[in-house]
Amino acid sequence: MAHPSSTTPTKIIPPLTDELDIVIPTIRNLDFLEQWRPFFEHYHLIIVQDGDPTKTIRVPDGFDYELYNRNDVNKILGPKASCISFKDSACRCFGFLVSKKKYIFTIDDDCFVAKDPTGKEINALAQHITNLLTPSTPNFFNTLYDPYRDGADFVRGYPFSLREGVPTAISHGLWLNIPDYDAPTQLVKPRERNTRYVDAVMTIPKRTLFPMCGMNLGFNRELIGPAMYFGLMGDGQPIGRYDDMWAGWCCKVICDHLGLGVKTGLPYLWHSKASNPFVNLKKEYKGIYWQEDIIPFFQAVVLPKECTTVQQCYIELSKQVKEKLGPLDNYFQTLADAMVTWIEAWDEINSQPKAVSQSTTPPKSVSQSTTPPKKEESSPKPK
């Protein structure tokens, strides 16, 4: 009888390789992927190329990916393409739309691998997966943070009936080095760097809003995908740098309504590039004023009991946006319409039976061998 060699190391299979897509919006290049290779190489990437579609984005060899530029967005969505932003990283949500996977991890192309206080490189993707696969606890605050983490638990006084938690829909990671500040704060504190490693994951309590940053974000697409619309930003729009904020407020309200959880904290990544604060100020300017009305709006939103799916909640939300924020600026009327268009696009693209969508997966094969697969230059055929 053959015995397995005791010297052969057990191969650790990265979790969820068939169930998770990594979505990356980019306008420049994807050199940053080199550093992430050990952590990303087993996963499928969806690259959303913003800006000039004639430009070729170089993807480092050995990654399995599909790439969409603006022409692809227009071809696939037709008139509904109007809901996808141009010249803003908000375009990333197109990647969420066309993904066929259960989970999404999205990351900015100026984010690199950080090190924890022991000097070990942080596998941000693995941490997001852990966050998403363990429950959240939005109904009662645990003072020792995530009770499902190794070495932690629920504290004295935490009701046992609440210890099962709820499914986690969103995992919001943080950033060392350049923190995610708005333009005014960047202008006042140009040299501030985030050097504090806070070793915690926690659930954001129910009915509490937060600013969701899209730089380092994981979510369960089946649970909350339709609400991950990043709004109308960038070219031709009066506002920018509020895309992820908008998605986060919508998602949180819907998660609260549907009994889903949102976590924040680990993992950290290293954010390397500080964008120009003067450019940012111009983009954010209206947002800074508008958010004074937007926040009370979201804090007061009540979704009817009849809304039991994310899509229903989102359509209802769009109606309330139109009604309550419309008077603030016409932009919100247009945004509310775009929210509806997005849901229509989502349902259209995602209602296809699985067999059809598999046959339209990109021609490039998933690499099982050591030979790197062919580069994918053009988009897959539209369905």
Partner 1 sequence: MSDTVIKDDEVDIVIAALRSDLTSFMEDWRIIFSRFHLIIVKDPDLSEDLKIPDGFNHDVYTKSDIDQCVGSASTSVLFSGYSCRYFGYLMSRKKYIVSIDDDCVPAKDNKGHLVDVVAQHIWNLRAPATPFFFNTLYDPYCAGADFVRGYPFSLRNGVTCALSCGLWLNLADLDAPTQALKPEMRNSRYVDAVLTVPARTMMPLSGINVAFEREVIGPALFPGLRLGGEGKLRWETIEDLFSGMCAKVVCDHLGLGVKSGLPYVWRKESGDAVESLKKEWEGVKLMEEVVPFFQTVRLLRSAVTAEDCVLEIAKMVKEQLGPSDRVFTRAADAMVEWIKLWKAVASASTSAA
For partner 1, the binding residues (CB under 8 A) are: 117, 140-145, 151-162, 172, 174, 179-182, 184-185, 189, 192-200, 204-213, 241-242, 244-245, 248, 264, 284, 288, 291-292, 295
Which residue, 10 or 195, is less far from partner 1 as judged by CB? Answer: 195
Q: What is the Cα gyration radius of the chain? A: 21
Chain centroid offset of residue 378 CA: 24
Cα gap 172→183, rounded to integer Å: 21
Q: Which of 223, 14, 216, 12 has the alpha carbon at shortest distance from 101?
A: 223
Phi and psi for 74 in degrees, rounded to 5? -65, -40
Which residue, 215 or 343, is less far from partner 1 as judged by CB? Answer: 215
Residue 100 CB, shortest distance to partner 1, in Å, is 30
Which residue, 119 or 157, is less far from partner 1 as judged by CB? Answer: 157
From residue 320, alpha-carbon distances to 30, 146, 211, 314, 326 in Å are: 39, 34, 20, 10, 9
Residue 172 CB, shortest distance to partner 1, in Å, is 7
Cα gap 297→318, rounded to integer Å: 12
Which residue, 46 or 233, is less far from partner 1 as judged by CB? Answer: 233
DSSP string, 159-177: -GGGTT-B-EEEEEEEEEE
Residue 359 CB, shortest distance to partner 1, in Å, is 41
Which residue, 42 or 163, is less far from partner 1 as judged by CB? Answer: 163
Cα gap 169→171, rounded to integer Å: 7
Residues 46 and 73 sit within 8 Å (Cβ to Cβ): no
Residue 265 CB, shortest distance to partner 1, in Å, is 8
Give strand ranges (E) for 88-139: 103-107, 111-112
Residue 70 CB, shortest distance to partner 1, in Å, is 26
From residue 190, alpha-carbon distances to 149, 269, 275, 282 in Å are: 35, 20, 11, 17
- What DSSP state is assigned to residue 234? B
Which residue, 81 or 122, is less far from partner 1 as judged by CB? Answer: 122
Which residue, 281 or 340, is less far from partner 1 as judged by CB? Answer: 281
- What DSSP state is assigned to residue 145? S
Residue 281 CB, shortest distance to partner 1, in Å, is 12
Residue 189 CB, shortest distance to partner 1, in Å, is 7
Which residue, 43 or 242, is less far from partner 1 as judged by CB? Answer: 242
Residue 280 CB, shortest distance to partner 1, in Å, is 9
